[in-house]
Structure 1
Amino acid sequence: MLTTEYTGKVLAELKRTVDLIDNAEAERIVEGILQAKKVFVAGGGRSGFMAKSFVMRMMHVGLDPYVVGETVTPNLESEDIFIVGSGSGETQSLVTMTEKARSIGATVVAVTINPESTIGKLANIRIEIPAQAKSDGTSGKSIQPMGSLFEQSLLLFFDSIILRFMERKGLSSDTMYGRHANLE
């Protein structure tokens, strides 16, 4: 198969997957971000890279976002929102963080393949991305290896949250560019 044919199949998988995301729950995330004092985002592995790109865009729209685990990340408080991306919803380090965020009283958001997972059950808001788990290469949900479909869908979902936030706040790309890094 040609590379462009694979790309077409991947795009079709992404469309099928993101079309199944619950818009009402997604809107609750936007509302939670609008109401939060600070935004904390966590994820492991490739999901963590998607989380970092989401934090970067939130900074561009003027929010006060943080990647959990970075040395400049402040303490989480009850007025904050904690968003965790975890395909399995069972990654132990993320479970521990989610339990802590919940005990503090922050709004907890789980973006996961498995909303009935430990992290999903701890969350106030659950977004299910019905993708293939990285350990389930025989599900037929994806031609891609491991958790690629979830990770790509996570990035698209996070970018869509940013677009909805921009719409709600009347922001444009030009406004955001003024906050882009200038020490590159």
Structure 2
Amino acid sequence: MDTAGYMQEIVKELQRSAGQIAPGEAEQFAELLQRSGKIFVAGAGRSGLMGKAFAMRLMHAGRDAYVVGETVTPGIAPGDVLVLGSGSGETKSLVAMAEKAKAIGAAVAAVTIAPDSSIGRLADLIVKLPGSPKDQSTGNYSTIQPMASLFEQTMLLFYDAVILRLMEQTGQTTTNMYGKHANLE
């Protein structure tokens, strides 16, 4: 298969994945973000990169959004929400963040393949995304892509769809969002 063929297969996989996301979970997630104070986003590895992209778009949409671990990230407080993207739901550093956020009184939202995971059990809201876990040794997966690529790509599409929903709810347009785009580049 050539590169174009692989791209077409990836798009087919994403189409199937998008169709497996529960609309109610997605809508509850958007509602939680809408009524929250500050929004904190975290993930490890490529999932973390998808989270950073989401935090940036939240900021463009006028929300107080932060990436956990950055030097300018404030403390979390009651009324805030911590969004954790983790395929396995077992990443130790993210579990610790969820525990701390819960102890402070903030909400925790998990975007994961594994709702029954440690993070899933701590979460106030879970959005289950389809995708293949990193460990594909069991043979229980249906993707041509390596490791957790399908999950990470589905996560980015999900996050972008949530942004569109928030834009719709708040009357935001791409034009207004450009006003918050970085201009020191």
The bucket for the TM-score relative to the shorter chain is over 0.9
User: Equivalent residues in 2 for 1:149-168 (5 A)?
Assistant: 149-168=150-169
Mapped partners of 1:128, 1:13: distance in 2: 16
AA aligned to 1:91 is T
SS at match of 2:29: helix
AA aligned to 2:134 is K
SS at match of 2:95: helix
Asked if 1 retains the 8 angstrom alpha-carbon contact of 2:58 and 2:163, the reply is: yes
SS at match of 1:42: strand
How many residues are matched?
A: 184
Per the normalisation by structure 2, the TM-score is 0.97
Per the normalisation by structure 1, the TM-score is 0.98
Mapped partners of 2:130, 2:3: distance in 1: 25
Name the structure 1 match of 2:14: 14
AA aligned to 2:146 is P
Mapped partners of 2:65, 2:113: distance in 1: 24
Quote how far apart the aligned CAs of 1:180 are: 0.5
Quote how far apart the aligned CAs of 1:178 are: 0.9
Mapped partners of 2:141, 2:81: distance in 1: 34
User: Equivalent residues in 2 for 1:74-153 (5 A)?
Assistant: 74-136=74-136, 138-153=139-154
Structure 2 residue 167 is the aligned partner of structure 1 residue 181: no
Give aligned-pair identity as a percent.
52
Task: Tell me whether 21-30 or 57-66 shows the greater mean CA deviation.
Answer: 21-30
What are structure 1's unaligned runs of at least 5 residues? none
Mapped partners of 1:33, 1:116: distance in 2: 22
Mapped partners of 2:73, 2:147: distance in 1: 30
AA aligned to 2:117 is S
Mapped partners of 1:141, 1:18: distance in 2: 14
Quote how far apart the aligned CAs of 1:130 are: 1.5
